[in-house]
Amino acid sequence: MAKLSPIVSEFASTEEEEAHDAWFRAKVEKALASTAPRIPHAEVMAKVEAILDRHK
């Protein structure tokens, strides 16, 4: 297990980094293959703005 510098990587080892990368890529592939209805950008941004406004 190769240790990584916290300046170079947020992961403690290359194994952790590779596992996270594989998990993330699988999530992206699943999302791209999804047939669920898409949410319009404007609707998502309105929800984000509402959340940010609540936390101001």
Looking at residue 50, its pLDDT comes to: 98
Of 27, 4, 28, 26, the C-alpha closest to 16 is: 4
The answer, yes or no, to whether residue 8 has pLDDT greater than 90, is no
What's the predicted TM-score (pTM) here? Answer: 0.60
Which residues does 9 contact at the CB level (< 8 Å), separation at least 6? Answer: 17
Structural domain that includes position 27: 14-54
Residue 6 located in a structural domain: no
Residue 8 located in a structural domain: no
The answer, yes or no, to whether residue 26 has pLDDT greater than 90, is yes
1 secondary structure, DSSP code: -
Looking at residue 6, its pLDDT comes to: 66
Residue 29 located in a structural domain: yes
Per-residue three-class SS string for 10-50: CCCEHHHHHHHHHHHHHHHHHHHHCCCCCCCHHHHHHHHHH
- How close are the terminal C-alpha atoms of the chain, in Å? 43
